[in-house]
Amino acid sequence: MILVRDGIHINGETSNNFALNGTIPVAGAMPITIRSGWNRVDLMIDDQPFHVVNTHLETDEISPTTQ
């Protein structure tokens, strides 16, 4: 999530999930898949363009391939 305050013009935005996801084993139950992804916004602040990207990569124990 990217929070943008009032008065900031957003020119564009997009988000997606990574192709690879982490899996956590759960005792006595099916494993849980943790979906990870990213999001991006293009902003205009005082006539200056900004490109902001946000992501959360899991720890090595959960998804070493994604890391």
Kindly report, residue by residue over 19-62, the tens digit of the pLDDT.
Answer: 877 778 888 888 888 788 899 999 999 899 999 999 876 666 65
Residue 65 covered by a domain: no
Q: Domain of 40?
A: 9-55
The structure's pTM equals: 0.64
The reported pLDDT for the residue numbered 59 is 63
Residue 1 covered by a domain: no
Residue 44 makes CB contacts below 8 A (sequence gap 6+) with 8, 9, 11, 50
The reported pLDDT for the residue numbered 15 is 95
The reported pLDDT for the residue numbered 36 is 81
**What are the CA-CA distances from residue 21 to residues 10, 11, 12 (Å)?**
29, 30, 26
The end-to-end CA distance of the chain, in Å, is 20
Residue 29 covered by a domain: yes
Of 13, 44, 48, 18, nearest to 33 by C-alpha is 18
Residue 27 covered by a domain: yes
3-class DSSP state for residue 47?
Answer: coil
Residue 34 covered by a domain: yes
Domain count for the chain: 1
The reported pLDDT for the residue numbered 11 is 94
